[in-house]
Chains A and B, each alone.
Chain A
Amino acid sequence: MTTSNAAWTEAAVQVAGLRVQYLEAGAGAGTPLLVLHRSTGNPGWLPFHEELSGAARTMVPDLPGYGQSERPDWAREPRDLAILLHRALDRIGLDRVSVVGLGFGGWVAAEMAVLQQQRFERLVLVGTPGIRPDEGEILDQMMLAYEVYVRACFADQAAFEAEFGEQPDAATRELWDFSREMTARLTWKPYMWDWRLPYLLAEVETPTLLVWGGEDGVVPRSVGRQYRDALPNARLEVVEGAGHMVEVERPRELAALVRAFVS
């Protein structure tokens, strides 16, 4: 996996007795950015993060239960993580942020907006599940070997191999394996959606950008339209030719979309 060599720092706060770790870099004049990773975990400081940090302070937490953030054994749904992350931002002292949620992290971001939208200046959701698709189904990672699942997140298999090689290394596989276990604790049945969410989104007035890879094989594009219809201030952009992991396949293009939207 390509990670950036740029200077970033690592810090942690305690929330509900649990350590929540985050990476951060950048110090621009803009509103700080919070980036929430996908269900496969955050491999580190990515070129996408680096692109964002050129304009604003950018913070990338490991979601509680993923990576270096301790597991809340009691957590049963993404909303539990949303509550913990709000409290983590309280501890860090960030009253106002924009948030970028990637995949499952976007669902957590949407729950955060439902709970406390005053904190958010802008919301960006990339290929985000959380709503039952009107058309098609959300690809079920629990029925796939994790490597097969991550491959399915790419439109271009050459891009997958450029990132991970033909055989991902042990650390990457361990991250996927470990992350999948936490995901299974949070969204098993129903898988990757909550029937309450679209009704609650109707009250979220935060300006929202929805980004979908044109070739997203994991979360159907119909979910993007459903988010757009549920949220009062949302628009949908499609990155043609990209798969589900837009931030890895098209880091610059996605970062440019985000920067233009949040600035």
Chain B
Amino acid sequence: MFLGYFTERPYQDPEAGISGAFLTEGGQLFAPGDAPGAIDLGTSNGLYNPRVAHQLYNRYLDEKVYAEEMGFDGLMLNEHHASLFCMGGAINVEAAILARITKKAKIVLLGNVLPIWDDPMWLAEELAEIDLISGGRLVPGWVRGTGRESVAHNAQSPFNWERFQEAHDFVIKTWTTDGPFRWEGKHFQYRYVNPWSRPMQQPHPPIWIPGTLSKNTLRWAAEHRYPYIMLGGELEAVRESFDYYRECASNVGYEAGPENFGYVIKVHVEESDEHAYEVGRKYLQGPSNPFIEGNQGEVRQHLQSLPGLSPRKGEMLPMKRDRAQAKARGVDTAEAPPQPKAPRVPDHERDFSGSYDKQIERFNIVVGSPETVIERMHHVVETLELGTVFLWDGDGAMSHEDAMSSLTLMGKHVLPAMRQIGDDLNLPGPYDFDPPLGSVG
């Protein structure tokens, strides 16, 4: 079993009032959507404090180093643009630093937003350099991105999927073919492909594909034999999606196993269940990813569902039952009439506990003492037959201290127990194979 660590790296600035998804203006609290900066893709970076960002970037890097020390196999970075909940706009920079300051953990990018690169040659060069500096520890993962990514880099949304596929084919060819060669594609053209950097891992670094909803991405990953990493979601819906991957794998002549499947899940550990329950509530606070159900933040649906970005009816995974996510990704846009805006409710009268408890009940969030967490994670990995699990912690309004104490307990209790569970249930990860899964497309 492959065990990784993940944080979205939220921009937390208590002094500016951006702690919680609420901003304060003159000491007044605003509900999400009412404050000038609380709306997804509606926050001016006039509020940005570089000194705070300096501390946060280094804090998150320090936590990654400690996660390696605690025994995690992989350190995961994700990428979003123009967003408070994820400071990773340029993840290759963070990955390059980790390549130098960590020793053995894989650096897992889940992932670069392929369609927004107008020059994927540059991406091929950057990733190759990271792989070289790290001594072959890079796991590139590629995503299509949400609407905010296409907006931020002005990538033409109707061609998102075409550009994803062509950029992928181009980068893989660049890494695996002796240059120079010429590329005359539909979206990208190069007259001289011959970069003076090639990845350390041969024929190319293992590719993992993260996702949540898009059925054709899942099918594409299965056809390329790339491990698929599901970014959260309800267990039953995730199971059904994995079944679809298995079906696609079988159609192209192989049997998918646990090594093909990964899952990112929110896990926070404290000495006692009570303490963990209280700290875990912070997942739903802070500038946490607003398109995850129950979080405090407002998504502007029309920007998430840019024209042509989401597949139309019949191409969605069963996860669309997860309404908040589905809405955010633009499902049923034509069918659902716009809802009247909810009246403003003062912060102290808002009740998020029901949603928090519901997420715990559904295993969207796992909090507790090491014993509780181990028991619940046993259920998760067994239900989904996972070869890869990323524990998502230190997010929302959680402090550095929250993250570090949980990491310590993970290292001491949770990771060894999960490895044992993986062995007992025979759940190999992608690196339990030679060559590792995903490295031969």
Contact present for A185 and B303 (CB under 8 Å): no
**B151 is contacted by which of A143, A146, A177 (Cβ under 8 Å)?**
A143
Interfacial chain A residues near B154, Cβ < 8 Å = 188-189
Q: Please report the C-alpha to C-alpha distance between residue A69 and residue B306 in the assembled complex, in whole angstroms.
A: 22
- Size bin of chain B's contact surface: 10 to 19
Q: Does B401 reach chain A (CB closer than 8 Å)?
A: no
Contact present for B301 and A170 (CB under 8 Å): no
Contact present for B337 and A167 (CB under 8 Å): yes
Q: How far does the Cβ of A183 sit from chain B's closest Cβ, in whole Å?
A: 7
A142-B334 contact given A184-B156, A184-B158, A189-B156, CB 8 Å threshold: no
Interfacial chain A residues near B156, Cβ < 8 Å = 184-185, 188-189
Q: Please report the C-alpha to C-alpha distance between residue A184 and residue B151 in the assembled complex, in whole angstroms.
A: 12
Q: Please report the C-alpha to C-alpha distance between residue A189 and residue B131 in the assembled complex, in whole angstroms.
A: 34
Q: Does A86 reach chain B (CB closer than 8 Å)?
A: no
Q: Please report the C-alpha to C-alpha distance between residue A167 and residue B308 in the assembled complex, in whole angstroms.
A: 23
Contact present for A145 and B308 (CB under 8 Å): no
Contact present for B337 and A184 (CB under 8 Å): no
**A142 is contacted by which of B307, B333, B337 (Cβ under 8 Å)?**
B307
Contact present for B301 and A180 (CB under 8 Å): no
Contact present for B308 and A177 (CB under 8 Å): no
Contact present for A173 and B158 (CB under 8 Å): no
Contact present for A145 and B307 (CB under 8 Å): no
A143-B335 contact given A185-B308, A188-B156, A189-B156, CB 8 Å threshold: no
Q: Does A181 reach chain B (CB closer than 8 Å)?
A: yes
Q: How far does the Cβ of B303 sit from chain A's closest Cβ, in whole Å?
A: 7
B330 (CB) vs chain A CBs: closest residue? A177
Interfacial chain A residues near B335, Cβ < 8 Å = 170
Please report whether the interface of chain A is mostly helix, strand, loop or mixed according to DSSP. Answer: helix
Interfacial chain B residues near A183, Cβ < 8 Å = 307
> Which of B156, B306, B334 gathers the greatest number of chain A CB atoms within 10 Å?
B334
Interfacial chain A residues near B302, Cβ < 8 Å = 143-146, 148
Restricting to A141-185, which residues have a CB under 8 Å from any CB of B? Answer: 142-148, 167, 170, 173-174, 177-178, 180-181, 183-185
A184-B334 contact given A145-B302, A189-B154, A189-B156, CB 8 Å threshold: no
Instruction: Please encode chain A, from 214 to 250, with 1 for each CB lying within 8 Å of some chain B CB and 0 for all others.
Output: 0000000000000000000000000000000000000
Q: Please report the C-alpha to C-alpha distance between residue A174 and residue B307 in the assembled complex, in whole angstroms.
A: 12
Q: Please report the C-alpha to C-alpha distance between residue A142 and residue B151 in the assembled complex, in whole angstroms.
A: 9
Contact present for A177 and B333 (CB under 8 Å): yes
Q: Please report the C-alpha to C-alpha distance between residue A167 and residue B336 in the assembled complex, in whole angstroms.
A: 11
Q: How far does the Cβ of B41 sit from chain A's closest Cβ, in whole Å?
A: 9
Restricting to B121-175, which residues have a CB under 8 Å from any CB of A? Answer: 151, 154, 156-159
Please report whether the interface of chain B is mostly helix, strand, loop or mixed according to DSSP. Answer: loop
Q: Does B314 reach chain A (CB closer than 8 Å)?
A: no
**A184 is contacted by which of B300, B301, B307, B338 (Cβ under 8 Å)?**
B307
Interfacial chain A residues near B333, Cβ < 8 Å = 173, 177
**A181 is contacted by which of B301, B307, B337 (Cβ under 8 Å)?**
B307
> Which of A147, A148, A183, A185 gathers the greatest number of chain B CB atoms within 10 Å?
A185
A170-B338 contact given A142-B306, A143-B303, A185-B308, CB 8 Å threshold: no
Interfacial chain A residues near B159, Cβ < 8 Å = 185
Interfacial chain B residues near A189, Cβ < 8 Å = 154, 156
Contact present for B334 and A177 (CB under 8 Å): yes
B337 (CB) vs chain A CBs: closest residue? A167
Instruction: Please encode chain A, from 115 to 148, with 1 for each CB lying within 8 Å of some chain B CB and 0 for all others.
Output: 0000000000000000000000000001111111
Interfacial chain B residues near A143, Cβ < 8 Å = 151, 302-303
Contact present for A145 and B337 (CB under 8 Å): no
Contact present for B301 and A145 (CB under 8 Å): yes
A167 (CB) vs chain B CBs: closest residue? B337
Interfacial chain A residues near B151, Cβ < 8 Å = 142-143
Q: How far does the Cβ of B33 sit from chain A's closest Cβ, in whole Å?
A: 14
Interfacial chain A residues near B303, Cβ < 8 Å = 143
Contact present for A170 and B158 (CB under 8 Å): no
B300 (CB) vs chain A CBs: closest residue? A145
Restricting to A178-201, which residues have a CB under 8 Å from any CB of B? Answer: 178, 180-181, 183-185, 188-189
Q: How far does the Cβ of B325 sit from chain A's closest Cβ, in whole Å?
A: 19
Q: How far does the Cβ of A144 sit from chain B's closest Cβ, in whole Å?
A: 7
Q: How far does the Cβ of A241 sit from chain B's closest Cβ, in whole Å?
A: 27
Interfacial chain A residues near B338, Cβ < 8 Å = 145, 147, 167
Interfacial chain A residues near B300, Cβ < 8 Å = 145
Q: How far does the Cβ of A185 sit from chain B's closest Cβ, in whole Å?
A: 5
Interfacial chain B residues near A145, Cβ < 8 Å = 300-302, 338
Restricting to B245-300, which residues have a CB under 8 Å from any CB of A? Answer: 300
Q: Please report the C-alpha to C-alpha distance between residue A105 and residue B333 in the assembled complex, in whole angstroms.
A: 25
Interfacial chain A residues near B306, Cβ < 8 Å = 142, 184
Interfacial chain B residues near A173, Cβ < 8 Å = 333-334, 337
Contact present for A180 and B337 (CB under 8 Å): no
Contact present for A180 and B334 (CB under 8 Å): no
B336 (CB) vs chain A CBs: closest residue? A173
B41 (CB) vs chain A CBs: closest residue? A143
Q: Please report the C-alpha to C-alpha distance between residue A104 and residue B167 in the assembled complex, in whole angstroms.
A: 32
Q: How far does the Cβ of B276 sit from chain A's closest Cβ, in whole Å?
A: 40
Interfacial chain A residues near B157, Cβ < 8 Å = 142, 184, 188
**B308 is contacted by which of A146, A170, A174, A184 (Cβ under 8 Å)?**
A184
Q: A145-B301, A145-B302, A177-B334 are in contact. List 10 more A-B contacts (CB 8 A).
A: A144-B302, A167-B338, A170-B334, A173-B337, A181-B158, A184-B156, A184-B306, A185-B159, A188-B156, A189-B156
7 pairs, CB–CB < 8 Å, chain A vs chain B: A177-B333, A183-B307, A184-B156, A184-B308, A185-B156, A185-B159, A188-B156
Q: Which residues on A are within 8 Å of B, measured CB to CB? A: 142-148, 167, 170, 173-174, 177-178, 180-181, 183-185, 188-189
CB-based closest 4 A-B pairs: A145-B302, A181-B307, A184-B307, A174-B334
Q: Which residues on B are within 8 Å of A, measured CB to CB? A: 151, 154, 156-159, 300-303, 306-308, 333-335, 337-338
